[in-house]
Amino acid sequence: MFYSFNDVIKERLLRSGWYPNRSINIDKYLSVLEGKGYDVHHNAMNFFIV
């Protein structure tokens, strides 16, 4: 099964407890995290919050 980049990010966030709702736009959610002072890095292979 093919998963889009955003689907992979959402699943990782859900598993890590960061992502509260599947319907939230991932880019908006990442920008919210950045606005709260988290340094958010992501690319096609990795996602992590510092």
Q: Is the pTM value of this prediction over 0.85?
A: no
Q: Tokens 């093919």 label which residue?
A: 2
Ordered by start, the domain boundaries in the chain are 5-49
The DSSP-derived string for 3-42 is --HHHHHHHHHHHHT----TTS-HHHHHHHHHHTT--EEE
The pLDDT confidence band at residue 38, using thresholds 50, 70 and 90, is: low
pLDDT at 40: 58
pLDDT per residue as tens digits for the range 13-37: 777 766 555 555 667 766 776 666 6
Residues 31 and 2: their CA atoms lie apart, in Å, by: 26
